[in-house]
Structure 1
Amino acid sequence: MCCRCCGVTQQKVWVFGIGTLMGVSGLLSVIWGPSFMDTLIMKQLPLTPTSKTFEKWEELPIPIYLHMYLWNWTNAQEVQANGVKPIFEQLGPYVYREERKKMDLEWHDNGTVTFNPRRIWYWEEEMSGGKQTDIITGPHLPSIAAAHSMKDSNIFLKVMFNQALNANGGALYTTHTASEWLFEGFYDEFLHYAMNLNNPLAPEILDDHFAWFLHRNESKDFEGPFTVHTGVGDIKEMGEIKYWKGMNHTGWYEGECGRLNGSTTDLFVPDEPKEKALTIYIPDTCRIINLEYSGVSYEIEGIQGWKYEVTPNTFDNGQLNGNMKCYCPADRYPDDCPASGATSLAPCGDGAPMYLSADHFMYADESYANTITGFDPEYEKNNFYIIMERKMGVPLKVVANVMITLYMEQDSVIDILKGIPSFYAPLFTTSSQAQIDKALASELKLVLSLPSIARYMGVGLLCVGCILIAIGSLLTWKRKWYGQAEADRLALRDNEVIESETEVVPRNE
């Protein structure tokens, strides 16, 4: 606006008009700006091939580290010979950097997408607390699992099985390097025998090598496929698992305990109440895991998040919470259910007496930990938790600790089990850990700030509009507009001329 080019009236129109426009715009921004920005953000969140969400979902932009702890059975010979109490020592962590990518994406018209998750692990020597060449003794799972399957067989079958076990590499324990236990694998004579055994009652053996993560590295077919909701059409379903391997129920546990729901941990429903529990499904755990709201908040990279963690109810089997009874295998219910604190993996592990629990049996019944020497749970170290920013549904930090154990008990017919005590042998602890980095945190903070930015911009516009109106009012009252003096002088002169002309008008004679 050029004051020299405008008259006083035009100046007033400009100042009062702009002031009123800015004031009204600012007021509307203060009232509706934040909700408008929230709506706009939520419209951008659903997963589509061209969305920002897709870029970060297809291939996670932050590093994930797999911390593996292996348990070394230090007195295995004495246990087998004399039945003494087993002693285990936790070794590690053996740390691997994990890269995740969704493969073979197939988009569906009902707002879902199907994919195969691929994971690649890279050894991180400097972050590890042990070497891949560490020698570790652990239970011989193939032998123990096979022996357990014969537990209730008649004496004749058990004697025949015992002979075959002794003649074909059966053992109570075995010793290998950390890398062999984890990914590399080792040849196992008993597995080779079982793989070539034509027994329709025995589970199918596909390989005569053994490792906890055998053939997992770089595989895109081991875990999936998953079908999840994209949030298109219903943002409150975003990330929810609809199918896994074409099913919406695992079939391993009855009722709700086998139903698939929750998240794969890569995508969560945004803008949920902070008190609502997080539900996740990890194929290796064979079940959903509910993480409860702790009421504790943390600030990570300048972003506030809330902590969700396992509780004594998480791995309950019905003793603490009646709704969890379905995690007791149907063939053991109700009199032979495991004590609270561990879930039997037998339904999804071909009957092997393996158990899933919090690390070091934290929150579990003391009967588990008392069977060996070596368990010493610490809340901060062994906890399973997620720190979640709930508005956008973004995990700020993940520490997922779970432990796998093998139940071993004596058998008077099977030689490798004669005279041993009953105990829960820890096999390994896995801990997936990740934390948001500065780059991603900066993007998230900007998005979270947009509603506040809209409000502050509204306040600014409202203030500027009020100031302009106030200045215009003051200038009008003080008659200080640019050119006002000249306008007043001209007006005064015009008034004087009119008055003088009125005075000299001749009288009618």
Structure 2
Amino acid sequence: MTQNLKLEEMHIIRSKKRKFNLILCSLTTSVVLIISGIILILMRTFIHNKAMGKLHTLEPGEFTYDLFKKTPFDIYFDIYMFNWTNPEDFHDSTKKPVFKEVGPFRFQEIIEKTNITFHENNTISYNRTRRWYFKAEQSISDLDAPITTINPVAVSGAYTLRDQSFFMRKGFSVSLNSIMGRIDVTKSVGEMLFFGYDDVLINVAKTIPFVSKNLPPMDKFGWFYTRNNSNTFDGRFNMGIDDLTFGQLKNWNFAAHTPYYDGKCSEITGSAGDFFPKPLTKGNLNIFNVEMCRTIVMDYDGESSRKFMRGYQYTLGDHFLDNGTLIPENQCYCTGECVPYGMMNISLCRYGSPGFVSLPHFYKADPYYLNLVKGLEPSDRHNFYMILEPNTGIPLEIAARLQVNLMVRSVPGISLLSNINDIFFPMLWFEQVFKIPYSFAFGLFILLWIKEICIVVGTCMAMTGILVIYYIIYRICTTNICGKRRNKDLFIKELVPLNQEKDDAIPKILGYMKLVCNNIIL
């Protein structure tokens, strides 16, 4: 009997110890929650600035560096070809060239930075390798589809010789007639783009001294021939990585100016294309483009929302499309061939060929261009725009679209190009549409609202701690949790007078605390 009493007594003691430990643990946890919540609220600005700093820190092992080194998500490059349907009417001045758009031909593009070098002046140098993989299942047809267009090699040769002597032009004309006999060419899409095709005129041009020095280092013609998987085609970049110049191009091919334009137009400025200045302003946005060897100036076009985030939208407008009429400082981009609004001369950047860039289907361009051809239908579908989150400079959506054109002019002495109307011949256009993936958008959303999140989470933590403490005290004072039951109504009744007389508040609070302590002890 005595032994049973002792066992029961030990059980009661152990039970009280467990309850006491539970109370102590709960109180400790509550205090930690309250303190942590307060600290989280007070440290919200520091946490925000630290996260922003990590986002704009380009060091090996950092998240941003991995994004910079290689594209972490799928990016597609769509190409549309223009098929010339009436080449037999080329010398008939009463008929316009008719074109039919063929596409898209979709390629997955992977961009990787190589030969990365960090410098002590807070810059980084690198090469850029692009790889394209054809996606037949997402394309209109395979790369064997035939395309008829004007012969780019012949047009470029005639353009180069336009100011040479009559005998030089006549000799080229004889060679052109004997080799080709016509100005159009029909090749497969694959040959036109990446594979390249043999052209006898390239070999002939290499024998002419003043022509060969401007020829590209290739044995075939193709718009993207030798570019796929090339580590050198895009050149060598040098970009700033400190707080003030993060993402801004300092040098390209070891120079701060390009040799293709004069004056201010030769300056290498703006984003290198991976990062953009932060915070953004509601003004012009500069991006250096290696395809045109120049800085593209995009105009601010208002605010736009994507995935519940506000962004600044920039489009190609007057500062890019004008040749000096509206924006006088743009005149140096003409390089001697100032044309109506909407067409950019890139001939010097493209080895002297008469290359001109516009928006697809001559969108936004002077009606002059559209009146020279048939089959093109410009619309908002052909706009070039970017939507960037203003606090971080991170792209929310990009739709990059450009069209490649050849200027075809009558050249006296070259029979295949004499007595014709001047025309800007549309060759192809491409687009690259990017929308920030939901996984990255969620992380960016958290980053942008991290201060508010700290306040909400900190408040919830502190309130949870306070409520737990209140509940523990309430349970202690109204139940037999510590071995003695009190009458709940009596307990509440004892608390009521605390709110009746303000003058006696302090002694009554002390009495309440004593009441709580007595319950714990008992």
* TM-score tier after normalising by the smaller chain length: 0.7 to 0.9
Which residue of 296, 321, 328 corresponds with 1:322? 328
Ranges in structure 2 where 5+ consecutive residues have no aligned partner: 1-16, 474-494, 499-507
Paired residues of 1:360 and 1:377 also in contact (CA < 8 A) = yes
- Cα deviations by residue, 1:340-375 (Å, 9 ceiling, x for unpaired): 211111221233222111111212111122111122
1:445 and 1:485 mapped to 2: Cα distance? 48
Query: Structure 1's 187 and 445: CA in aligned 2 closer, same or farther, altered over 3 A?
Result: same
Paired residues of 2:205 and 2:212 also in contact (CA < 8 A) = no
Query: Structure 1's 37 and 485: CA in aligned 2 closer, same or farther, altered over 3 A?
Result: closer
RMSD (CA atoms): 3.2
2:112 and 2:216 mapped to 1: Cα distance? 29
Alignment of 1:256-271 (within 5 A): 256-269=264-277, 271=278
1:197 and 1:150 mapped to 2: Cα distance? 11
Which residue of 87, 108, 113 corresponds with 1:76? 87
Paired residues of 1:68 and 1:92 also in contact (CA < 8 A) = yes
Paired residues of 2:206 and 2:212 also in contact (CA < 8 A) = no
Alignment correspondent of 1:430: 430
Alignment correspondent of 2:491: none
Paired residues of 1:95 and 1:124 also in contact (CA < 8 A) = yes
Query: Which residue identity is paired with 1:384?
Result: F
SS of residue paired to 2:124: strand
Query: Structure 1's 367 and 113: CA in aligned 2 closer, same or farther, altered over 3 A?
Result: same
Paired residues of 1:72 and 1:137 also in contact (CA < 8 A) = yes
Alignment correspondent of 2:54: 44
Query: Structure 1's 465 and 254: CA in aligned 2 closer, same or farther, altered over 3 A?
Result: farther
Alignment correspondent of 2:442: 442
- Higher relative contact order, structure no. (Cα contacts within 8 Å, ≥ 6 residues apart): 1
- TM-score, normalised by the number of residues in structure 2: 0.81
Alignment correspondent of 2:477: none
- TM-score, normalised by the number of residues in structure 1: 0.83
Query: Which residue identity is paired with 2:316?
Result: V
Alignment correspondent of 1:354: 355
2:110 and 2:181 mapped to 1: Cα distance? 37
Query: Structure 1's 36 and 276: CA in aligned 2 closer, same or farther, altered over 3 A?
Result: farther
Paired residues of 2:299 and 2:318 also in contact (CA < 8 A) = no
Which residue of 64, 73, 77 corresponds with 1:53? 64
Alignment correspondent of 1:503: none
Alignment correspondent of 1:495: none
1:321 and 1:3 mapped to 2: Cα distance? 82
Paired residues of 2:194 and 2:225 also in contact (CA < 8 A) = yes
2:167 and 2:450 mapped to 1: Cα distance? 75
After TM superposition, give the deviation of residue 468 of structure 1 in Å: 8.8
Which residue of 233, 240, 245 corresponds with 1:237? 245
1:137 and 1:89 mapped to 2: Cα distance? 10
**1:35 maps onto 2:45 in alignment:** yes
Alignment of 1:101-500 (within 5 A): 101-169=112-180, 171-199=182-210, 203-230=214-241, 234-269=242-277, 271-300=278-307, 302-329=308-335, 332=336, 337-379=338-380, 381-460=381-460, 463=463, 477=509, 479-481=511-513, 483-484=515-516, 486=518
Count the aligned residue pairs.
469
2:43 and 2:363 mapped to 1: Cα distance? 47
Query: Which residue identity is paired with 2:161?
Result: M
Query: Which residue identity is paired with 1:337?
Result: C
Paired residues of 1:42 and 1:235 also in contact (CA < 8 A) = no
2:466 and 2:302 mapped to 1: Cα distance? 43
Name which of structure 1's ranges 436-445 and 242-251 shifts more when overlaid on structure 2: 436-445
2:313 and 2:462 mapped to 1: Cα distance? 39
Alignment correspondent of 1:505: none
Query: Which residue identity is paired with 1:287?
Result: R
Query: Structure 1's 193 and 482: CA in aligned 2 closer, same or farther, altered over 3 A?
Result: farther
2:273 and 2:514 mapped to 1: Cα distance? 65
- Cα deviations by residue, 1:387-433 (Å, 9 ceiling, x for unpaired): 22232222122211001111112234211112321111001102122
Name which of structure 1's ranges 338-347 and 456-465 shifts more when overlaid on structure 2: 456-465
- Cα deviations by residue, 1:162-201 (Å, 9 ceiling, x for unpaired): 2233334474221101111011111111112212444467
SS of residue paired to 1:285: coil
Query: Which residue identity is paired with 2:109?
Result: E
- Cα deviations by residue, 1:125-153 (Å, 9 ceiling, x for unpaired): 12212331221111111111111122233
After TM superposition, give the deviation of residue 307 of structure 1 in Å: 2.3
Paired residues of 2:154 and 2:201 also in contact (CA < 8 A) = yes
Query: Structure 1's 202 and 109: CA in aligned 2 closer, same or farther, altered over 3 A?
Result: closer
After TM superposition, give the deviation of residue 239 of structure 1 in Å: 0.9
Query: Which residue identity is paired with 2:407?
Result: Y
Query: Structure 1's 92 and 221: CA in aligned 2 closer, same or farther, altered over 3 A?
Result: same
1:124 and 1:482 mapped to 2: Cα distance? 79
After TM superposition, give the deviation of residue 75 of structure 1 in Å: 0.7
Query: Which residue identity is paired with 1:376?
Result: E
SS of residue paired to 1:119: strand
Query: Which residue identity is paired with 1:113?
Result: I
Query: Which residue identity is paired with 1:323?
Result: E
SS of residue paired to 1:313: helix
After TM superposition, give the deviation of residue 282 of structure 1 in Å: 2.2
SS of residue paired to 2:190: helix
2:214 and 2:280 mapped to 1: Cα distance? 45
SS of residue paired to 2:314: strand
Ranges in structure 1 where 5+ consecutive residues have no aligned partner: 491-509
Query: Structure 1's 264 and 207: CA in aligned 2 closer, same or farther, altered over 3 A?
Result: same
Paired residues of 2:363 and 2:379 also in contact (CA < 8 A) = yes
After TM superposition, give the deviation of residue 306 of structure 1 in Å: 3.2
Query: Which residue identity is paired with 1:315?
Result: L
Query: Which residue identity is paired with 1:360?
Result: H
After TM superposition, give the deviation of residue 158 of structure 1 in Å: 2.2
Paired residues of 2:387 and 2:398 also in contact (CA < 8 A) = yes
Query: Which residue identity is paired with 1:451?
Result: K
Percent of aligned positions that are identical: 27
Query: Which residue identity is paired with 2:428?
Result: F
Query: Structure 1's 186 and 252: CA in aligned 2 closer, same or farther, altered over 3 A?
Result: same
Query: Which residue identity is paired with 2:254?
Result: G
After TM superposition, give the deviation of residue 466 of structure 1 in Å: 7.4
1:253 and 1:170 mapped to 2: Cα distance? 36
2:456 and 2:261 mapped to 1: Cα distance? 53
